[in-house]
Structure 1
């Protein structure tokens, strides 16, 4: 394994935040290459060669390029030493860690659909309010599993404490709160605050810059 400085191709406020945050938790220096959503930079030949789907994040590391944030998180945990962010193979928490690591993308699918409807359709008349309602309800239902997991004073997803599963999930919870009213999710609200208070989270925010997606704290369903 090589140890040269990795390069993270990123858009502020996207899934790339997960990877940048984890790199900060690990104390790994990174070269950050910033892109914009609408300026055509994702369509440049150089980036298309890195990311066939033309989406961020893309991580150049150890002579390879990874284009899935979950794969990046697991790869970093497996190849970087001196951390407690991943239970070892055979550890009783390993399956739970993997489950929550990937449950973040169960939530992410609904968030992506709502992003498209609320933020990216060029004409509001193109929206489907019934679809938006269904996706919002599905996202709220999926969040209930997290709310229950964090009951009874549990601070993080694993009983042993903070892990990279929280890094994957933390970004997702932050994004979900733009569409689902967290008044009904006090455990998730407190969880989100704990994660945002971490020094590495704040370091990643400073490195990333101002997010490009959300102009409001909350997007209510449009009235019919």
Structure 2
């Protein structure tokens, strides 16, 4: 039995997308994004009350990078991991974990734009800084994708999912138009059935608008 604890449009979307691409049977438990994740029964699965938590093989895993590595090792036939000794293994690890560099800037921007409801609670400086840092991450991905369809020379893998989710979140705060390689790659990713299956139902999720501009 595989059970994913998920909240729409959060980092757990990364794990949901990966499960969809693996083509394995799993169950999804959708949680509202909020204080219910601090309930004792959920804290027994994730010690700081966040998503995702993945129940599999009698264990509970958390942290999306760890979940991705475990699932790719557990289901190697899907070809989404790169084993030790593979010539793309080092790049697979680099870009798998670079996804969290991108995501941390997205998380900071989400806190400022979405979670802090009153304008006086927000920091113009933080919003501008984090948007600029996110733009640099987009630039790094764009450079890596020069002459490539996917982040690895050997083709589509879990690192495209990990970074692809981060870009899905990031385009709510930074326009991607200046990064043509990233745009073409993201268009390929977002057309995949696995990505489409990981999207929330209409009107659900944490983003209530398509774009949140940085203050001028």
Which of the five TM-score ranges fits, normalised by the shorter chain? over 0.9
Gaps of 5+ in 2: none
1:170 aligns with 2:164: yes
Equivalent residues in 2 for 1:69-218, closer than 5 Å: 69-152=64-147, 154-205=148-199, 208-210=200-202, 211-218=204-211
TM alignment of 1:36-51, pairs within 5 A: 36-38=32-34, 40-51=35-46
Q: Is the partner of 1:82 in helix, strand or coil?
A: helix
Runs of 4+ with deviation above 4 angstroms: none
**TM-score (normalizing by structure 2):** 0.95
Distance across 1 between alignment mates of 2:124 and 2:76: 48
C-alpha contact 2:2 2:26 (8 A) present in aligned 1: yes
Deviation at 1:60, TM superposition (A): 0.6
Which residue is 1:222 aligned to? 215
TM-score by length of 1: 0.92
Deviation at residue 218 of structure 1 after TM alignment = 1.1
CA offset digits 1:177-219 (Å, max 9, x no partner)? 11111111111111111001112222333xx534411111111
Measured on the aligned residues, the alpha-carbon RMSD in Å equals 1.3
- Listed one character per residue, the Cα deviations across residues 115-166 of structure 1 (whole Å, up to 9, x for unaligned) are 11101013210111011111111111121110011112x1100011000001
**Unaligned residue ranges in structure 1 (runs of 5+):** none
- The residue that corresponds to 2:50 in the other structure is 55
> In the alignment, what sits opposite 1:34?
30
Partners of 2:61 and 2:111 in 1: how far apart? Answer: 24
Separation in 2 of the partners of 1:122 and 1:66?
A: 32
